[in-house]
Amino acid sequence: MPGLTLTLLKDPYAVCRMAPDAPVHVPPRATFFHLVRAHDETTLACLASDAPDGAETDAGWRCFRIEQSFDFSTPGILASVLGPLAEAGIGIFATSTFSTDYILVKTKDVVGAIKALARAGHRVENAGS
- Tens digit of pLDDT for each residue in 44-95? 999 999 999 999 999 999 999 999 877 777 778 888 999 999 999 999 999 9
Predicted pLDDT at 98: 87
- pTM of the predicted protein model: 0.90
Percentage of the chain lying above the pLDDT 90 cut: 71
DSSP state at residue 54: T
User: How does residue 128 score in pLDDT terms, banded at 50, 70 and 90?
Assistant: low
Predicted pLDDT at 113: 97
CB proximity list for 113: less than 8 A, separation 6 or greater: 64, 85, 88, 90, 105
Domains assigned to the chain: 5-126 (3.30.2130.10)
Percentage of the chain lying above the pLDDT 70 cut: 97
Q: Using DSSP, how many helices (H) and how many strands (E) does the chain show?
A: 2, 8
Buried b (16+ CB within 10 A) or exposed e, 45-56: bbbbebbbeebe
